[in-house]
Amino acid sequence: MADAENRSPHWSTYADNTLVHDVCGGIRLIDEFGASDPVDTIALSIAGAEAAEALTEALEDEWALYTPEQVTATASAVLSQLEGTLANLRALKTTVERMEARKETAFTDAARDHLEHMAAAVDFACGFAPGVISALENLPQLVELPADAHEVLTAVAGLLGPDAVFQAVHEPGAYEEDDSGFGCGCQVLITHRGEVWNLHRGDSTWSMTRDSDGDHRPDGSTSFRSWVDLGPSSTTTHPEHLAEEVRLTLAPPT
């Protein structure tokens, strides 16, 4: 695991994100105390393989990344994996040589040649990494994303058209982003097929409730038996992404 001093500057700012920490928690735990036996070693190798497969699936989504900066950060991490692969291929060769020295196996010429040839191929590929990162760093960002949850809601209301009404609960400019996960309290009311839906920022989640599902109390408050949590979670979600999730909730594909 790359420590703070060795992390790429392109993805170091994300490395201590809560979700990143949760996803990498098991790997970091083994890294902190050291792999003590083959079970730990194999677990690390499988975790890396599963992460690579999951990343491939994630990148197939239209909204996998929003900005060139995020593309560069992801590419930098992927290329760091490539460098790690090279180091691991060389380490595997050394591991077999240790086993051979203990007379636990014998290194065949075929196995040695395949490892060396693969390492040479990966080493050659690593040479292109600086050029890839440089090219991605220079991609222009042509869209300015919202700075906070309030701006996201405002933009989504505009994207959803006349059936969506933005309702503010604070004076313009009075909202300051905090870390509560509940946004600014504003909401977007959407009328669809005679039903009124409420889009708002919930507990670190973008959620929708339908008015007819609510229990309306005499004091004016409403509690809901059910709601829909939308896919994106960030307070700076791309408005088009969130608007697409809203449309799918209102009219799911048949």
Q: What confidence tens digit (pLDDT) does each residue in 77-132 have?
A: 999 999 999 999 999 999 999 999 999 999 999 999 999 999 999 999 999 999 99
Report the C-alpha gap between 171 and 150 in whole angstroms. Answer: 12
Neighbours of 116 (CB within 10 A): 13
Could you tell me if 90 and 25 are in contact, meaning their C-beta atoms sit under 8 angstroms apart? no
Asked whether residue 4 carries a pLDDT value surpassing 80, the answer given is no
The pLDDT score that the predictor gives to residue 177 is 74
Could you tell me if 159 and 188 are in contact, meaning their C-beta atoms sit under 8 angstroms apart? no
The strand pairing partners of 228, in sequence order, are 208
Q: Buried (b) or exposed (e) across 38-56, using 16+ Cβ within 10 A?
A: eeeeeebeeeeeeeeeeee
Report the C-alpha gap between 69 and 46 in whole angstroms. Answer: 29
Report the C-alpha gap between 97 and 80 in whole angstroms. Answer: 26
Report the C-alpha gap between 73 and 64 in whole angstroms. Answer: 13
**Confidence band of 13 (pLDDT split at 50, 70, 90):** confident
Report the C-alpha gap between 236 and 219 in whole angstroms. Answer: 34
The pLDDT score that the predictor gives to residue 181 is 74
The strand pairing partners of 199, in sequence order, are 188, 208
At 66-92, the pLDDT tens digits run: 999 999 999 999 999 999 999 999 999
Average model confidence (pLDDT) across the chain: 89
Q: Where do the domains of the chain lie?
A: 12-137, 149-250
Asked whether residue 179 carries a pLDDT value surpassing 80, the answer given is no
Could you tell me if 41 and 35 are in contact, meaning their C-beta atoms sit under 8 angstroms apart? yes
pTM: 0.86
Asked whether residue 41 carries a pLDDT value surpassing 90, the answer given is yes
**Confidence band of 170 (pLDDT split at 50, 70, 90):** confident
Helix/strand/coil for 216: strand
